[in-house]
Amino acid sequence: MSGPTTHTGRVAVVTGGARGFGAAIATELARRGAAVAVVDRDDAAETVAGIEAAGGTALAVQADVADPDSVTAATGRILRRFGRADILVNNAGIIVAGDFFDTDYDTWRRVQAVNLDSQFLMARALAGSMRRNGWGRIVNVASNTLGLVAPHLTAYIASKGGVVGFTRGLASDLAEYGITVNAVAPTASRTPGGEAAITEEVLRLSARMQAIKRVGEAGDIVGAVCFLSGDDAAFVTGQTLVVDGGWVRA
Ligand SMILES: NC(=O)c1ccc[n+]([C@@H]2O[C@H](COP(=O)([O-])OP(=O)(O)OC[C@H]3O[C@@H](n4cnc5c(N)ncnc54)[C@H](O)[C@@H]3O)[C@@H](O)[C@H]2O)c1
């Protein structure tokens, strides 16, 4: 596999890697030399096939990252196969929009479980391996909606606020082990999940509000994730990097 060697020798775990942002992240981490476990509730065969066709190493792991037993089984399989985990990209998430008065408790809980609880479960399962090796990188996917007037997204924005808080707290707990924890906050983007939940009108409106006036795409957060998961970001932790075409100023 030819490409930059910034991640050579690392084992990366990317959740929600069957499509969208996660597939783009997994593919680029592999191109940069990492062996990548692609975790998804759906079949991640396409992402893995693309990586292998380019000469990289990848493993598809089917799991529901919101389910503790499923996470235990998936991470056990990854650690048995690769012997370690160095990088965790907590990307899996669901965008659920709806009027507050139509949002029932089950929907609220599901959004928090998939978008936030999953990041705790994955980090709890894999940070021990990073601690043993004295090196680790955790990158959590948040959202720029936290800094916007974005109606009908209360459960979603609350979950992403939790992601930022989780990132800050965990960064303090893991720094002494050589593990950094950061977040990236994308804008409304043309991914399968984005296009299913966000209307074309809102995608175009978002583009107009950004300093860079085009609709976000799956590849747009890849560079930031590679930076935060590499050696160059060794002194950066607890931060949320807004990667949204220059809309929200953090
Ligand atoms: N697309 C956007 O507009 C946008 C904007 C800001 C933030 N984000 C965030 O980016 C991340 C990725 O979103 P995307 O747009 O690529 O979405 P997507 O729906 O295209 O891809 C998400 C992937 O996560 C997987 N997934 C969902 N729930 C899962 C679960 N419980 N267990 C395992 N896998 C699961 C899906 O199967 C899918 O393959 C999410 O955290 C989302 O909140 C997206």
Helix boundaries (H) for the chain: 20-31, 45-53, 68-82, 105-112, 118-133, 154-174, 192-197, 200-209, 222-228
For the chain, what is the domain count?
A: 1
The residue contributing the CA closest to ligand 1 atom 34 is 40
Q: Is residue 145 part of a domain?
A: yes
DSSP 128-173: HHHHHHT-EEEEEE--GGGGS--TT-HHHHHHHHHHHHHHHHHHHH
Atom of ligand 1 nearest to the CA of 64: 32
Q: How far is the CA of 179 from the centre of ligand 1 (A)?
A: 24
63 phi and psi, to 5 degrees?
A: -160, 155
Atom of ligand 1 nearest to the CA of 192: 20
pLDDT of residue 250: 76
- Interhelix angle for 154-174 vs 105-112, to 10°? 30
**Amino acid identity at 80:** R
Q: Is residue 230 part of a domain?
A: yes
65 phi and psi, to 5 degrees?
A: -70, -5
Q: What is the DSSP letter of 124?
A: H
Note down pLDDT in tens along the chain; length 250 residues.
678 999 999 999 999 999 999 999 999 999 999 999 999 999 999 999 999 999 999 999 999 999 999 999 999 999 999 999 999 999 999 999 999 999 999 999 999 999 999 999 999 999 999 999 999 999 999 999 999 999 999 999 999 999 999 999 999 999 999 999 999 999 999 999 999 999 999 999 999 999 999 999 999 999 999 999 999 999 999 999 999 999 999 7
pLDDT of residue 2: 75
Q: Is residue 170 part of a domain?
A: yes
Q: Is residue 3 part of a domain?
A: no
Q: How far is the CA of 94 from the centre of ligand 1 (A)?
A: 5
Widest pairwise Cα distance in the chain? 52
Q: How far is the CA of 20 from the centre of ligand 1 (A)?
A: 7
The residue contributing the CA closest to ligand 1 atom 17 is 193
Domain of residue 37, residue span: 11-187+221-243
**Chain-centroid distance, C-alpha 156:** 15
Does residue 230 line the site of ligand 1, with CB under 6 A? no
Does residue 229 line the site of ligand 1, with CB under 6 A? no
Q: Which of 21, 156, 166, 247 is catalytic?
A: 156
From residue 244, give the alpha-carbon distance in Å to each of 31, 163, 170, 249. 24, 17, 24, 10
The C-alpha atoms of residue 240 and residue 105 are separated, in whole angstroms, by 28
Closest CA relative to residue 160, chosen from 214, 112, 213, 118: 112
Closest CA relative to residue 56, chosen from 100, 105, 107, 12: 12
Q: What is the DSSP letter of 214?
A: S
pLDDT of residue 1: 66
Atom of ligand 1 nearest to the CA of 142: 7
Q: Is residue 211 part of a domain?
A: no
Does residue 93 line the site of ligand 1, with CB under 6 A? yes
Does residue 131 line the site of ligand 1, with CB under 6 A? no
Closest CA relative to residue 129, chosen from 13, 2, 235: 13
Q: Is residue 127 part of a domain?
A: yes
Q: Helix, strand or coil for residue 66?
A: coil
Q: Are 37 and 10 a contacting pair, CB within 8 Å?
A: no
Q: Is residue 208 part of a domain?
A: no
Q: Has 177 been annotated as catalytic?
A: no
Q: Is residue 64 part of a domain?
A: yes
CATH of the domain at 227: 3.40.50.720
Q: How far is the CA of 155 from the centre of ligand 1 (A)?
A: 15
Assigned token pair, 30 = 């592999």
The C-alpha atoms of residue 213 and residue 179 are separated, in whole angstroms, by 35
Assigned token pair, 20 = 């969208």
